A = this chain, B = another copy of it.
């Protein structure tokens, strides 16, 4: 529970009988600070939220089952209409409701269905309703994702973050909606850079399939009023831990994934080089299928590294998987194949690629590529 915030999650009829509409209402207007997708194609909720004149928010309405992306000016008008209706139900001020959507791209929101369900959503609002809210925003997620933290300033403050995301997950960002709520009072001006930094170190450090979505959004809602800046660092630490925890929940729930691989590239001349190589390995289908098959096929890893479009000296590269050295100086080291295969059966794997060419490093989390990823995505719309 976070003082002053109420949550709801109901089945409005967008999806069959499942929870599909989440509502959050702030008793006092909150500040919103947001990071949105870098995809050139942006969903209507992002276009709409960005056009709002103020960063004061009284409510957040989120639906699953329809992404409201590629719906043109009508998609934005649909949100304006819903905003007017919800404003009158809540007796809120005009233009202080923000939106988020997730689901199939290219379909209009069923606004009539949603409008009819608004009174039920308002009625469902509860201080401890965050669990049903988190379930209402799920798509292919297999579990709801909530992370919490608290810290001390002039008083004890709380943070609760809610996320959804399992596929179309790529850093910068993913088909991922993240909402972070707190009773800590701080202005967007003071916290925006920290939020960006937190996103870089959490949501941009995971990938499932290298796909960047049209709807990705990270929204932080903070309290208005007198700021308590003495504990700003404590807030940021708590915020980062919530973001990191949600990011790990998302990658662990990667579509069809049986395991998570933590890839660290070190010994690079520059961080940028380490990052490009780490990302290239992380999205390589051949590397990801080998992880699914528990095959210590380090040749695919070095081939992906060589294809990252950055300088690399193959003859220096060392590859360590689960603590076992598979290759050194760019060539295979004798290793016990059965032992390594066994070690690869773990749910979380550690892969280190040392370029032995400098001191910079970068790390990222990815999943394996499995039959179930193909199955889920060959039939997502049906």
Contact = CB atoms under 8 A, between A and B. Distances in A.
A235 to B, nearest CB: 33
A105 B300 contact: yes
Nearest to A72: B331
Interface stretch (A11-19, A262-270, A306-314): A306-314
Given A209-B286, A290-B377, A105 B303 contact: yes
A211 B327 contact: no
Contact of A371 (B72, B290, B330, B375): B375
Interface string A273-309: 0000000000011100110110101111011111110
Given A290-B378, A300-B105, A331-B72, A311 B209 contact: no
Interface stretch (A48-56, A63-71, A92-100, A187-195): A63-71
Interface string A26-43: 000000000000011110
A101 to B, nearest CB: 12
Given A70-B331, A293-B379, A299 B211 contact: no
A330 B105 CA distance: 11
A370 interface: yes
A299 B69 contact: yes
A167 interface: yes
A211 B374 CA distance: 18
A378 B289 contact: yes
Contact of A307 (B40, B303, B314): B40
Interface string A214-233: 10000000000000000000
A285 B211 contact: yes
Contacts of A297: 104-105, 380-381
A380 B285 CA distance: 13
B370 A374 contact: yes
User: How many of chain A's residues touch chain B, expressed as a range?
Assistant: 35 or more
B286 A168 contact: yes
A300 B214 CA distance: 9
Contacts of A285: 209-211, 285, 369, 373, 377
A315 interface: yes
Interface string A152-174: 00000000000000011010000
Given A105-B303, A210-B285, A212-B306, 12 more contacts: A39-B303, A70-B299, A72-B315, A72-B331, A104-B297, A106-B298, A167-B286, A214-B303, A289-B377, A295-B379, A371-B371, A371-B374
Interface of A: 39-42, 67, 69-72, 74, 104-107, 167-168, 170, 209-214, 284-286, 289-290, 292-293, 295, 297-300, 302-308, 311-312, 314-315, 327, 329-332, 369-371, 373-375, 377-382
10 smallest CB-CB distances across A and B, nearest first, come from: A105-B299, A293-B378, A41-B306, A289-B377, A40-B306, A106-B299, A212-B307, A72-B331, A39-B306, A41-B314
10 contacts: A39-B306, A41-B305, A41-B314, A70-B314, A70-B332, A210-B285, A212-B307, A295-B380, A371-B375, A373-B374
